[in-house]
Amino acid sequence: MKILLFLVSMTGWPILPAETFVDISPGTIPLVLSAPHGGVEKPAGVPDRTSGVLVRDTNTRELALELAAEIEKETGGIPFVITNRMHRIKMDPNRPVEEATQGGVFAAMVYRTYHHALAEACQQALNIGGGDALLIDL
């Protein structure tokens, strides 16, 4: 274990798994809320992106969670919610992976984790909706 921690510290990768940076809330209705740009986490071992949009969309994560709570309160149904915790300066989920991560290996792992979670939520929403679902990207 000490060797693994040493290697992690030598590579500059965060010790946390990629899944730590993606929040997944399962739903019961054919609605998916995604908030890809509201993250605030800036792991030191992940290189900063140097081009593209580098600032976060303030409070979109909170908006997604509040909207989900309000929908549940009003309808009794729970939307799927997928949010990214990593700051946009490290990774931008709404860009092709090369642009989104600009060579950051760990950022690419978080990128794939986010997109896998979003695809799974959309598939489950489609199953619930009999082939129809709505994705709202905040």
**What is the distance between the alpha carbons of residues 34 and 61, in angstroms, rounded to a whole number?**
8
**What is the distance between the alpha carbons of residues 76 and 82, in angstroms, rounded to a whole number?**
19
Residue-level pLDDT at 97 = 97
Cα 23 to chain center, whole Å? 6
Q: Is the overall model pTM greater than 0.75, yes or no?
A: yes
* Mean predicted lDDT score pLDDT of the chain: 92
Is 16-137 a CATH 3.40.630.40 domain? Answer: yes
In tens, the pLDDT along 4-58 reads 344 444 445 566 899 999 999 999 999 999 999 999 999 999 999 999 999 999 9
Q: Where are the domains of the chain?
A: 16-137
Structure tokens at 97: 């992976």
